[in-house]
Amino acid sequence: MSEYIGGEYDVIVVGAGHAGCEAALASARLGCSTAIFTLNLDSIANMPCNPNIGGTAKGQLVREIDALGGQMGITADATFIQSKILNRSKGPAVYSLRAQIDRRAYQEHMKLTLEQQENLDLKQAEVIEILTENKKVKGIRVHTGTIYLAKVVILTTGTYLKSRIIIGDVSINSGPDGLFPANKLSESLKALGIELMRFKTGTPARVNRRSIDFSKLIEQPGDEEIVPFSFMTDKPNENQVMCYLTYTNPETHRIINENLHRSPLYSGDIEGVGARYCPSIEDKVVRFKDKDRHQVFVEPMGLNTMEMYLQGVSTSMPEDVQQEIIQSIPGLENAKVMRPAYAIEYDCINPTQLKLSLEFKEIDGLFSAGQINGSSGYEEAAAQGIMAGINAVRKIRNLDPFVLDRSQAYIGVLIDDLVIKGTNEPYRMMTSRAEYRLWLRQDNADMRLTELGREIGLVTDERYNRFLEKKKNIEEELERLKKTIISPDREINDFLERHNSAKIVTGISLYDLLRRPEIEYDHLSEIGQAKDLSREVKQQVTITIKYEGYLKRQMKQIEQFKRMEERRLPDDLDYNEIQGLRIEARQKLSKIRPESLGQASRISGVSPADISVLLIYLETLKRKKQ
């Protein structure tokens, strides 16, 4: 029987979660014929864990995706139900936008966006095999036997590969939310020589809103002034729901400790490695014995559902223990569980097998993005997705890969960490991972990346013109503030006194006045010196002035970083021949094959002494060539 060819595309995306959506949209918007395959069209852009977008460091990722011309921020703005900026007390370097999302509305919005996109076909089918010839991708085979041909394939399978849900001593072959797992693709990847790992994540129970006693919960309102994710959103929605806070207590912890023998996490039933930064409640109780309580956030899943999400009590305990744990928490004494908590194990790849473009080093035309790369989180997945989509198109067109480095974006930090350092647990983005976080703020993501998105071809004329207008307004206002000198008259000194600021005896520029911590831009309206500018422009101007010294210092650090990144390492370098390198360094360098000295310095197991040896070797090579 002849094989049926179902279609031929430039790019095929396998999986329609957050990575898959961004990858497929980027590819199609750049003009390539694209198909996205999913096990179930109703699970496109699903949020099997908490339906929120953003959060610490993740808000920066969403802003960067948006600045490049991605979709996540636009869809989040259209479907959020509560919004707030986190870390306001800690300074702009770590401000992070977080929004509670209407889960179903987000899915519907994203699905419709995909369906309406030119050059993009949606397909419901299980992909069971990646087809290659001489280590070059040719296409895919689906469960019905049909073959689809492609120049490039992007894997964005999330947590579906051989996934297994665990609740107590019950184990079910299932994807998240009770959806079908992808049981056959793992074998195809192994046959291609791809190294797989086994990771674990989990999600808390959902309870019925009607069974909660809200009088015992602490209200957690959203911000009065809504800051949107997308630089294209003019009028964001308003907050429509309240979130709540409660706490575990000694009784909760007693129940957990007495039932630890029934936890698959401690009995050995769970083989996969879990996320250190998102532990289960039993793990928190065991690891932090000195704490007599842990936070539990009670958050709505959407406007048209009674389901409430219990953030902070992720567990894989049996259902009867889960019920006891939940009902020991104030406000949840009569809570009725609608969906039990569970752990999920799944196959993922070792990301050190990838180039920084997210293409496999050993398989031409095969890319990988999202949780299959060992990361966790919707935002981390989407960030990798847009980069894989861009680079898939660039490969087809014989263009150089588009790579963001650690000094350009959180996206650069994320991909560099995964590809160069690898990960032995689900990787989560955090502000502490970014060395240059004062520069990589969420408020200036458009200033950093819109020009690059324009060069790539994803930034529309409308977006670009907005960017240019904002940039002009910032530059003109900074120049005006430098040139405008105010005299030490009574009005000015009264103004300064009102804001607990030192009086002046000589003229001072508005620029220098704004350097003072106690003086904010809007205060200038009291002396008739504030311009009618957008909130975003005022914020950029204020941060630029108040953090000028710190930013200059950071830019010097970035220059030093760039110099190390520019020291390229030859592709054919044989590390075993370099005298003075330690055995571990030789092994790691040979396996990961960094492109620069800077990348080599970030590989676990490569010491500063090894970098010195490499420096000497490169200088020797340079002299020989001369």
Shared domain check, 285 and 144: no
Q: What's 197's DSSP letter?
A: E
Shared domain check, 149 and 95: yes
| pLDDT value of position 272 | 64
Q: What's 585's DSSP letter?
A: H
| Main-chain phi, psi angles of 261, to 5 degrees | -65, -15
| pLDDT value of position 1 | 40
Domain boundary among 310, 345, 380: 345
Residue 505: Cβ-neighbour burial (10 angstroms; 0-12, 13-18, 19+): exposed
Radius of gyration of the chain (CA): 26
Is residue 560 a part of any domain in this protein?
no
Shared domain check, 339 and 416: no
State the pTM of this model.
0.94
Shared domain check, 334 and 355: no
Is residue 3 a part of any domain in this protein?
no
Helix (H) or strand (E) holding 622: helix 608-625
Buried b (16+ CB within 10 A) or exposed e, 528-558: ebbeebeebbbbbbbbbbbbeeebeebeeeb
Residues 6+ apart with CB under 8 A from 337: 205, 206, 207, 319, 322, 323, 326
Structure tokens at 232: 């294209």
Shared domain check, 333 and 357: no
| pLDDT value of position 619 | 87
Shared domain check, 383 and 265: no
Domain boundary among 322, 345, 368: 345
Is residue 339 a part of any domain in this protein?
yes
| pLDDT value of position 274 | 64
| Main-chain phi, psi angles of 386, to 5 degrees | -65, -35
Owner of token pair 């197991």: 605
Is residue 464 a part of any domain in this protein?
no
Cβ neighbour number for residue 183 with a 10 Å cutoff: 16
| Helix (H), strand (E), coil (C) string for 310-326 | EECCCCCCCHHHHHHHH
Is residue 284 a part of any domain in this protein?
yes
Domain boundary among 345, 369, 386: 345
Shared domain check, 409 and 295: no
Shared domain check, 353 and 302: no
| pLDDT value of position 623 | 86
- State the residue range of the domain holding 43: 8-201+346-455
Shared domain check, 108 and 57: yes
**Strands, DSSP E only, in 175-232?**
196-203, 206-208, 218-220
- CATH number of the domain encompassing residue 351: 3.50.50.60
Distances (CA, A) of 327 to 48, 213, 288, 313, 334: 23, 11, 21, 12, 6
Rounded distance between C-alpha atoms, residue 119 and residue 30, angstroms: 9
Rounded distance between C-alpha atoms, residue 350 and residue 199, angstroms: 11
Is residue 559 a part of any domain in this protein?
no
Q: What's 354's DSSP letter?
A: B
Give yes or no for a contact between 336 and 208, defined as CB atoms under 8 angstroms apart: yes
Is residue 475 a part of any domain in this protein?
yes
| pLDDT value of position 514 | 96
- CATH number of the domain encompassing residue 523: 1.10.10.1800
Q: In what order do the strands lie in the sheet with 342-349?
A: 170-173, 164-167, 342-349, 196-203
- CATH number of the domain encompassing residue 313: 2.40.30.260
Shared domain check, 172 and 76: yes
Cβ neighbour number for residue 583 with a 10 Å cutoff: 9
Work out how many domains the chain is built from and give that number. Answer: 4
pLDDT < 50 positions in the chain: 1
Shared domain check, 52 and 165: yes
Give yes or no for a contact between 206 and 337, defined as CB atoms under 8 angstroms apart: yes
Shared domain check, 255 and 136: no
Is residue 558 a part of any domain in this protein?
no
| pLDDT value of position 2 | 55
Rounded distance between C-alpha atoms, residue 134 and residue 463, angstroms: 42
